[in-house]
Amino acid sequence: MTPLRAAALLVAVLCLAVTLWTGLEERGAALAFGVLILAGELTRRPGSELRESAPLGAAGALSYALLGEVAGHHSRHGTCQVVAVVLAAALLGGVPHIARGRSGTLDHLTRRVLTVAFAAVCFQPLYDEGAFRSLSGPAYALLLVALLVLTSLCGAVLAAASAHRRTRWPFGPLLREELRGLLGIGSAVCATGAVMALGVAVAGLWALPVFCVPLLLTQLSLRRYAAVRAVYRQTIASLARATEVAGYTPHGHARRVAALCRAVGRDMGLAEPELTVLEHAALMHDIGQLSLVDPVPAGATADLPADRRRRIALLGGAVVRQAGVDREVAVVVERQADPCAEQPRAARIVRAVNAYDEKARAGGPHGPLRALEELRLATADAYAAEVVESLARVLARDGLTPPAAG
């Protein structure tokens, strides 16, 4: 068991025990927020491109943690009850996902418990002691927003730590991606959590369904955007398969290169938008071969003369542009045959990974080791040393070595 999961388990057991011992305060509010969180968890989208896969559940949990009053009356539910209610709702909402074999549920529950506990500990004891009751109007609203921002930062650190433990990717880039995600759906979650806590304090529990609507609409729009991006990627993948269908490149070559390029880009600290460009360029890096009258044997371009590699790259860039793919992808495809020092980082990665895959498949059982050594011994103009070393780390860590030629 990881330290984060152990901490979450300890917090959950303690809060459940205290709540069972003292009894449930304000059962109506607990039920209302529990149902809201449950609904959010049931609509969670594991593996979604959204940084927060259950925004409605997150907003409901955070608003309950920062709830000081219900319709003008002081709330008495306390920190332990907040964690217990959120945990119960999250567990119930996670049952369908566990039954379907979806991964990531335990990490999701861990982050939910720890972030909600953090928010509740920062707010509930001080509010009960009267430290926040003297605040009103904009000052109180700013306090809630500030606490939500701190909680979001805590959640970003936990998410990055969990991903680092699971994937062994560098922690810094993972944290930057999580922090960048706070500007999108994360800001909507914080705003909705603050508004719901303020609305319930004045208007009572009837404010919950009213203030959920904007976040639901935002969630729907972001999911439609994610669906459009998925279709876009499928289109690029289909175009990339044209070289395989036509017999210009070996089966699965483009997918292997794309997967390995993305892993190397992660290891080198590329941001998510850069990784997307890199992956799309890797998928289409051989598309220029479709314009050749005489196919390259086995589609292997790494050892071709520089002028011929350059011509294939330029033809590929032209095809990518005509297909309506992002200009940045076309630039990477065009420049993968340039001298290494003149290439953008993404083009250096595509060039090295493509050469590795070609040489590894052609080298028999010991092809992967020989290919990596050949890349290391090549001149500085051929392959970037930092890319080759990153490739070696990824292969050693993740076992992404392609199969030997059969």
Domains of the chain: 3-228 (no CATH), 241-398 (1.10.3210.10)
| Residue 405 confidence (pLDDT) above 60 | no
Lowest mean pLDDT among 93-107, 304-318, 328-342: 93-107
| Residue 55 confidence (pLDDT) above 90 | no
pLDDT band at 80 (very low <50, low <70, confident <90, very high): very high
Cα–Cα distance, 336 to 353 (Å, whole number): 11
Task: List pLDDT tens digits, range 214-262.
Answer: 888 877 777 787 788 888 888 888 888 888 888 888 888 889 999 999 9
| C-alpha distances in Å from residue 383, one per residue of 124, 267, 342, 350, 377 | 57, 17, 11, 10, 9
Mean pLDDT of 390-406: 66
Lowest mean pLDDT among 39-43, 109-113, 135-139, 373-377: 135-139
pLDDT band at 291 (very low <50, low <70, confident <90, very high): confident
| C-alpha distances in Å from residue 109, one per residue of 57, 106, 112 | 11, 5, 5
| C-alpha distances in Å from residue 14, one per residue of 17, 25, 79 | 5, 17, 11
Q: Which residues contact 148 (CB under 8 A, 6 or more apart)?
A: 62, 66, 119, 190, 193, 194
pLDDT for the residue 353: 92
Cα–Cα distance, 241 to 235 (Å, whole number): 10
pLDDT band at 382 (very low <50, low <70, confident <90, very high): confident
pTM reported for the whole predicted model: 0.75
Handedness of CA 297, 276, 272, 259 (dihedral sign): negative
pLDDT band at 35 (very low <50, low <70, confident <90, very high): very high
212 class by beta-carbon count within 10 Å (0-12 exposed, 13-18 middle, 19+ buried): buried
